[in-house]
Copies of this chain bind each other. A is one copy, B any other.
Amino acid sequence: MLEQIVLNQKASKAEYDEKVEDFERRLGELQRQARDLQIPIVIVFEGWDAAGKGTLINRLMQALDPRGFSVYPIRASTEEEAHRPFLWRFWTKTPERGRIAIFDRSWYGRVLTERVDKLIRKKSWQASYEQIRSFERQLADDGAVLIKFFLHISKKEQKKRFLELEANASMSWKVTKQDWRHHRQYEKYTRAIEDMLAQTDTAFAPWTIVESHDRRFATLKVFAATIRVLEERVRGAQSTKEPEHRTDNLPGEEFPTTSLLETVDLSRTLSRPSYERKLDSYQARVRELEHQIYLRRIPVLVVYEGWDAAGKGGNIRRLTKGMDPRGYEVIPVGAPNDVEKSHHYLWRFWNRLPKAGHITVFDRSWYGRVLVERVEQFCSAEEWKRAYREINEMEEHLVSFGAVLVKFWLQIDEQEQLKRFNEREATDWKQWKITPDDWRNRDKWCLYKPAVEEMLGRTSTSYAPWTIVESNCKLYARIKTLETVIKSIEARLEAR
């Protein structure tokens, strides 16, 4: 496939000079329009060593308003990055709406260098294709434009360029032993590249192959392709026509009315003496496990969702009481701030993932998308429907990286909630815990209930099941969550 590409395409200096200034101006104009339309743009440069990525990127940068873009050179993972799932460092760099992120090499390193150099196992790089497609689809569904370039040169041309660089005293440092090794593996690399192109050339994130023997030709092609894609998107966004709905990512049918929550046995209780006895020994056990997972570099995520006043706060305090503060963090999730709002809704959670060996407890979580954001209509129906799959994909990514993921739904009934609200209002130092919002949400119990049921149904997966915690009795609930966390970590420690 790559062999059939005609590489000796050229642009004359006259043609270049004539076109480039106009291209620059149009690109500058499109950048401003995309900013006004709040379109996030991702541009990826991949290609052979010495194909001219750096020069081309700099050329593109000159045409852009520096207030509106960032360039991310992607090298081998730092220690910080190696302790997170592979997409973490890319998710955290996705652009705000209206901004451009340019990647000099990218997440494709996984299926190129890391594959060819055998830095990861076959199973891992093969699984990456699905993760990459899901990553790009999620960004595209959120409105991002993705433009991906592969800069192509022949083996002969690469050799020529390496030798030229080596002959130049001030440039010779650019050619390393690894570069020559990759050069010798040109054919092996070609297969990896063809594989990558075949697997990830999608409608929402297509590849453009840039014949890069002639720098002028390559520059013009990159400019032209970028302009074409952006013009199309800007025109689409400006037109009054309804955008086409992509229904392929949405769950197909109405969610069947279940009554899972009705079947929960809320009469379960625990006596205080047996609570106290278990509490002490479980807290000690959690502390031991915290150390075990640190040694084994296993990340742990504990997600708490539940009705208001179901006892999340008190439950979390009992879970963490015995822990070493160096090893865990509690992240309370409220309404997103300005910066968070201008990113994909999952961005802020990717940013807060635990480092391998650490525990993060989420007091509310990404499930807000299909709960409060759905019920309060902070997002469109299409958006929250899409979210089930997106969340499952993220959780699958975490678990396949080796994380322990425990998800709790703290269930109480309406009578119990009312009782607790009244208690809070009656107790001086607890009054801050109860706000008019809480009463308003209570009135929406009937709207939240089907949202909760659908969430539990659609996101209980083999790799990340929900645990429903009967919480009318707080003592029972606390012990059940402690027990569940302990068992989940123990199972993971025994598994590998």
Contacts and interface: CB of A to CB of B under 8 A. Distances in A.
Interface residues on A, range: 35 or more
Nearest to A284: B170
A325 B54 contact: yes
A57 interface: yes
Interface string A26-41: 0011001000000000
Contacts of A363: 66-67
Interface string A48-69: 0000001001100110011100
Contacts of A326: 54, 71, 73, 104
Which has the most chain B C-beta neighbours within 10 Å: A54, A57, A58, A173? A58
A330 B288 contact: no
B325 A58 contact: yes
Nearest to A339: B339
Given A321-B62, A324-B54, A337-B339, A29 B329 contact: no
A308 B324 CA distance: 53
A248 interface: no
A25 interface: yes
Nearest to A58: B325
A330 B363 CA distance: 38
A455 interface: no
A178 interface: no
A15 to B, nearest CB: 21
Contacts of A28: 429
Contacts of A250: none
A313 to B, nearest CB: 8
A442 interface: no
B429 A323 contact: no
Contacts of A429: 25, 28-29
A326 B104 CA distance: 8
A170 B78 contact: no
A299 to B, nearest CB: 16
Interface string A355-398: 00000000100000000000000000000000000000000000
B104 A325 contact: yes
A205 interface: no
Contacts of A170: 288, 291
Contacts of A57: 325
Interface in A390-426: none
Contacts of A324: 54, 58
Given A173-B291, A338-B338, A325 B66 contact: no
Given A65-B332, A70-B329, 20 more contacts: A25-B429, A32-B432, A54-B325, A58-B320, A58-B321, A58-B325, A62-B321, A65-B313, A66-B313, A66-B316, A66-B330, A66-B363, A67-B332, A71-B326, A73-B326, A78-B79, A79-B79, A102-B325, A337-B338, A337-B339
Interface of A: 25, 28-29, 32, 54, 57-58, 61-62, 65-67, 70-71, 73, 78-80, 102, 104, 170, 173, 288, 291, 295, 313, 316-317, 320-326, 329-332, 334, 337-339, 363, 429, 432
Nearest first, the 7 closest Cβ-Cβ pairs linking A and B are A67-B332, A73-B326, A66-B330, A338-B338, A57-B325, A58-B325, A71-B325
30 contacts: A57-B325, A58-B320, A58-B321, A58-B323, A58-B324, A58-B325, A62-B317, A62-B320, A65-B313, A65-B332, A66-B316, A66-B330, A66-B331, A66-B363, A67-B332, A67-B363, A70-B329, A71-B326, A71-B329, A73-B325, A78-B78, A78-B79, A78-B80, A80-B80, A102-B325, A104-B325, A170-B288, A173-B295, A337-B339, A338-B338
